[in-house]
Structure 1
Amino acid sequence: MSASYQALPYQPFVGLLDLSGKTAVVTGGGSGIGFAVSQRLAEAGANVLIGSLAPERSEELVKAGFAVSFQATDVSRPAEIQRLLDTAVERYGRVDIWINNAGVYPLKPIDDIDEGFWDGLHVINTRAVFLGAQAAQRQMRKQASAGAIVNLSSICGHRPMANHCTYDASKGAVLAMTRSLAKDLSAFNIRVNSVSPGLTATPGNLEPELLEQHRQNNVLHNIALGRPAEPYEIANAVLFLVSPLSSYVTGVDLLVDGGWLLHGS
């Protein structure tokens, strides 16, 4: 290798977070972490299509002047995932970024988990992630251009918590799927990574039942930084993984947990 070897031209810092001209699709982008991700990507200049069952907050971004649109999407229905991809192409001409964020977080003790509960959770948390990535990569390959896919996993994919068996399994599957997709799609210059949030101050996590679960698991005591994440702090990690800043990053999971995993329990 010669001393002058350079695979890509040097890019000045000012453009490393610029997503102008890119189209991003965010499932579950109407609330919580998904909304924060949609906002960050829009702020970076991307055209954003939110696919969600919760449209109310997407209108905030439209009113703020961002190129954001909404489509009601139930990711448990494969046809609606494909329709979301097709809509992005119809409206914006391409898809460069796909964020698999939609997910559910029901908890049950082992003896209360039946087939319907198990399958219903995995249809959304696992199968929909694969189908979203599958649809996105087909379009990205058709465009013959680089692409970025980010899957939302969880700290629960790394460490167990009480009554989390079904959920933990789904998020562990997302971690394994991300690595496999990254390997398969690297030949097409499509990068696939995941983000694993720790406890985040979303409306769902502030519900009394979940707050009690967190209290029983002594969660705040176990977080090194001593507080939950703000949704935008998770969105910052997603922005890094879809931007030119991470052009040589694929197949990794970015744990954004405030040092929770350092505690080890």
Structure 2
Amino acid sequence: MKLSGKVALVTGGSRGIGFATAKILSENGAIVIITSKNQERLEKSTLEIPNTIGIAADIRNTNDVKNVMKEIIEKFGKLDILVNNAGIFPKIKNYMKLMKMNGMKF
């Protein structure tokens, strides 16, 4: 898989599956942008993955998402690959309430 010249965004790219995905994209020639709410992990990750730029952002915040896209378009003029990897871990009480609202029985 050759991705030379492609611009990729990996949300939640500072650890776990997102980090591994960003690393593979970079190894295959893509310019990779990763996002994370945690500035320290973001900086560490961008040092470990070549051709990677980190942008601190909370993807739950619409303004953060707009700012990330604005920065990507200003720097690169395009976005070729989007990996929506960021996730949240709700409190179990709130999760169970959501599941019950969706008709699941526990």
Normalised by the shorter chain, which TM-score bucket?
A: 0.7 to 0.9
Name the CA distance, whole Å, in 2 between partners of 1:87 and 1:73: 12
The aligned residue for residue 30 of structure 1 is: 14
The aligned residue for residue 31 of structure 2 is: 47
The match for 1:104 among 57, 63, 88 is: 88
Instruction: Identify if the C-alpha distance between structure 1 residues 78 and 109 changes in structure 2 by more than 3 Å, giving closer, same or farther.
Output: closer
Aligned length, in residue pairs: 101
The answer to whether the aligner puts 1:89 opposite 2:73 as a matched pair is yes
Name the CA distance, whole Å, in 2 between partners of 1:24 and 1:50: 8
Name the CA distance, whole Å, in 1 between partners of 2:4 and 2:48: 17
The match for 1:63 among 47, 56, 70 is: 47
User: How much has 1:62 moved relative to structure 2?
Assistant: 4.1
User: How much has 1:92 moved relative to structure 2?
Assistant: 1.9
The aligned residue for residue 262 of structure 1 is: none
The aligned residue for residue 56 of structure 2 is: 72
Gaps of 5+ in 1: 1-16, 119-164, 170-265
The aligned residue for residue 20 of structure 1 is: 4
User: How much has 1:57 moved relative to structure 2?
Assistant: 4.2
User: How much has 1:87 moved relative to structure 2?
Assistant: 1.0
Instruction: Identify if the C-alpha distance between structure 1 residues 57 and 42 changes in structure 2 by more than 3 Å, giving closer, same or farther.
Output: farther
| Aligned-CA RMSD value | 2.6
User: How much has 1:109 moved relative to structure 2?
Assistant: 5.5
Superposition misfits of 4+ residues, deviation over 4 angstroms: none
Query: What residue identity is the alignment partner of 1:22?
Result: K
Name the CA distance, whole Å, in 1 between partners of 2:6 and 2:44: 21
Instruction: Identify if the C-alpha distance between structure 1 residues 60 and 20 changes in structure 2 by more than 3 Å, giving closer, same or farther.
Output: farther
Name the CA distance, whole Å, in 2 between partners of 1:41 and 1:70: 14
- Of the two structures, which has the highest relative contact order with CA contacts closer than 8 Å and spacing of 6 or more? 2
The aligned residue for residue 142 of structure 1 is: none
Deviation track 1:219-249 (CA, whole Å, cap 9, x = no partner) reads: xxxxxxxxxxxxxxxxxxxxxxxxxxxxxxx
Deviation track 1:81-140 (CA, whole Å, cap 9, x = no partner) reads: 111111111222210001111111335258x62xxxx4xxxxxxxxxxxxxxxxxxxxxx
Task: Give aligned-pair identity as a percent.
Answer: 35
Query: What residue identity is the alignment partner of 1:49?
Result: I
Contact 2:57–2:65 under 8 Å retained in 1: yes
Gaps of 5+ in 2: none
Name the CA distance, whole Å, in 1 between partners of 2:10 and 2:49: 18
Match of 1:56, SS state, is helix
Instruction: Identify if the C-alpha distance between structure 1 residues 45 and 56 changes in structure 2 by more than 3 Å, giving closer, same or farther.
Output: farther
The structure with the greater share of residues assigned to helix is: 1
User: How much has 1:59 moved relative to structure 2?
Assistant: 3.7
Name the CA distance, whole Å, in 2 between partners of 1:104 and 1:41: 23
